[in-house]
Amino acid sequence: MAEHEGRRRPAALDGEPNDPARARERRVEGERELWRRQPRVERALHDPRVRREQAGGRRIVVRVQRAAPGADDRGGRGRGRSGDHRCELYVYASTVDFELAPQQREIQELAREFAAREIEPNAAEWDREHRFPRDVFARLAELGLMGTCIPEEYGGAGADFLSYILVLEELSRADAGVGVTVAVHTSAVTLPLLAFGTDEQRSRFVPPLARGEHLGAFALTEAEAGSDAGALRTRAEPDGDGWRITGAKQWITNGRYAGTFLLFARTDQETPGARGVSAFVLDADHVSVTRDEEKLGLNSSTTNDIVVEGALVGRDRLLGEEGHGFRIAMATLDGGRIGIAAQAVGIAQAAYDVAREYAKERHAFGRPISEFQAIQHKLANMATEIDAARLLTYRAATLRERGEPHTEAGAKAKLFASEMARRQTGEAIQILGGYGYTKEFPVERYYRDAKITEIYEGTSEIQRLVIARSILGLQEPRVAARRA
Ligand code: CAA
């Protein structure tokens, strides 16, 4: 799935090593503009003036603008003049490319090995004891995986967004609680700080998060503001040169262990709803944790009620413009939902792995149960739906990486992947029968963990609303990507 790379000039043509850190730097505005100015790839490929070459698995299109009739197309390297002809060399990714780039595979492998060695063997115990595995995040930080897609200059690993999604999938396959901790930390806190922060805010707040020195928490939800997030009541009232913030938030992932909170509060008390909300960056000192939530699953993650009691913050703590906080929250969730889709894919994959092995081993009526059509159909459905969810998720991640609108694609990925994960973890239990219902096998944990993916970062009902608005053109298209 090197699709996201393809619309850029390949590193080889620029004479640069093709490493993910450089890849981010190369995605400059100009290149995107260049792509947009060109005819659509389908047209170009049928254009007789266009010569195709294959280079390193990528399709190269050389567009030759003839300077004089009869001139032949000798092509060229990069843009510029070649003999009499102005030659422009573009790389069109095949619109669909299902191969991961070598660097993405490397990161995926790194996360997979770490998860298999350090997370998966402990996941049942953490679940049983409701233990938040703090050490794991320190070790993930050493590998750069607490800031996978954060540029190196800000303390991250400098990989692309899809690499980060691959990491979330692998972590969640081992333990979905670890997956959500990293997801909220990265896409709900570090990335919006990077996207909406001033230079000063970026260099102050992002590196400690990207290096995993402390965790981030996203504080939007309140007792009476869940799906209707715009109904939030936490107040930020002018005080001196800043604000005094007071309010209570609930279901805050990472709340107990977070060092940085991205918190949403109403700065305009006269305006109800989404407008009049602003985003603030708070420290752990500004926040008190009042409760640990007991949950159906995700027991290795922490979910808390928090209160902020008259915390005085200066203007340096306002993220983005005053009154634009809701848009920041929505743009953040556009990307965050892709992470939850990846989490759901990881959980479902884990359930499928167990069910498939079990079906081959378990005998009934003198045969392995995998020889019965009833079981074969279940496994076939699982494999197919996991594939479909994964493709939706990678597509949304690719769009986001390219800086293209991804609100609808992310909502579709989350909607399908989460419902698929709930359905298919249930099927995994069914294949294991009585064993599946016990703690002897992990599938009951996967089933409990999968359920939340249909709820947080926007319920399935909200995803359908977002998709419907988009496909029916009920709102202007959200170009969240430009801001995220
Ligand atoms: N990107 C940028 N801006 C956006 C946007 C987007 N995707 N969607 C909406 N906006 C902007 C709108 O342009 C509008 O801006 P203006 O006021 O300047 O015009 C503003 O946001 C309000 O938009 P809407 O009128 O669409 O707002 P709404 O009140 O109708 O609500 C909603 C829309 C989609 C229902 C939204 O409230 C929503 O997504 N709700 C679900 C909340 C949610 O997902 N919570 C998750 C909590 S965090 C979590 O779960 C983390 C965890 O622990 C894992």
For the segment 59-86, what is each residue's pLDDT rounded down to a tens digit?
333 333 333 333 333 333 333 333 333 3
Amino acid letter, residue 235:
R
- SS3 category, 283: strand
Contact assessment for residue 239 and residue 284, using Cβ atoms and an 8 Å cutoff: no
Looking at residue 72, its pLDDT comes to: 33
Looking at residue 476, its pLDDT comes to: 55
| Residue 388 Cβ contacting ligand 1 at under 6 Å | no
Please give the average per-residue pLDDT across 12-36, as a whole number.
Answer: 34
Looking at residue 15, its pLDDT comes to: 31
SS3 content of the chain, % helix, strand, coil (to 5): 55, 20, 30
Give φ, ψ of 212 to 5 degrees.
75, 25
Q: What is the largest CA-CA distance in the chain?
A: 80
| CA-proximal residue: ligand 1, atom 13 (nearest) | 327
Looking at residue 95, its pLDDT comes to: 63
Lowest mean pLDDT among 90-104, 172-186, 291-305: 90-104
- pLDDT tens column, 155-180: 999 999 999 999 999 999 999 999 99
Looking at residue 365, its pLDDT comes to: 98
Which value, in Å, is the radius of gyration of the alpha carbons in the chain?
A: 24
| CA-proximal residue: ligand 1, atom 3 (nearest) | 327
Looking at residue 143, its pLDDT comes to: 98
Contact assessment for residue 4 and residue 162, using Cβ atoms and an 8 Å cutoff: yes
- ∠ Cα 295 231 329 (to 5°): 75
| CA-proximal residue: ligand 1, atom 10 (nearest) | 327
| Residue 328 Cβ contacting ligand 1 at under 6 Å | no
Q: Ligand 1 atom closest to Cα of 476?
A: 13
Catalytic residues: 457
What is the full DSSP assignment across 207-241? HHHHTTSSEEEEE--BTTBSSSGGG---EEEEETT
Q: What is the pTM of this model?
A: 0.83
User: Is residue 359 pLDDT above 70, yes or no?
Assistant: yes
Q: Which two tokens stand for residue 30?
A: 């100009």
- Ligand 1 probe mutation, 261, 271, 326, most atoms within 8 A of CB: 326
| Residue 408 Cβ contacting ligand 1 at under 6 Å | no
Q: How confident is the model at residue 92 (pLDDT cuts 50, 70, 90)?
A: very low
User: Is residue 217 pLDDT above 90, yes or no?
Assistant: yes
Helix axes 176-183, 325-361, angle to 10 degrees: 160
Please give the average per-residue pLDDT across 251-273, as a whole number.
Answer: 97
Q: Comparing 34 with 371, which gets the higher pLDDT?
A: 371
| Residue 220 Cβ contacting ligand 1 at under 6 Å | yes
User: Is residue 140 pLDDT above 80, yes or no?
Assistant: yes
| Residue 457 Cβ contacting ligand 1 at under 6 Å | yes
Distance 317 CA to ligand 1 centre (A): 21
Looking at residue 312, its pLDDT comes to: 98
| CA-proximal residue: ligand 1, atom 22 (nearest) | 274
Q: State the Cα–Cα distance between residues 339 and 329, nearest whole angstrom.
A: 15
- SS3 category, 439: coil
What is the full DSSP assignment across 106-141? HHHHHHHHHIIIIIHHHHHHHHHHT---HHHHHHHH
For residue 390, the 8-state DSSP code is H
Looking at residue 96, its pLDDT comes to: 78
Distance 329 CA to ligand 1 centre (A): 7
Please give the average per-residue pLDDT across 248-258, as a whole number.
Answer: 98
Please give the average per-residue pLDDT across 171-199, as a whole number.
Answer: 98
Looking at residue 54, its pLDDT comes to: 34
Q: How confident is the model at residue 181 (pLDDT cuts 50, 70, 90)?
A: very high
Q: State the Cα–Cα distance between residues 476 and 457, nearest whole angstrom.
A: 22
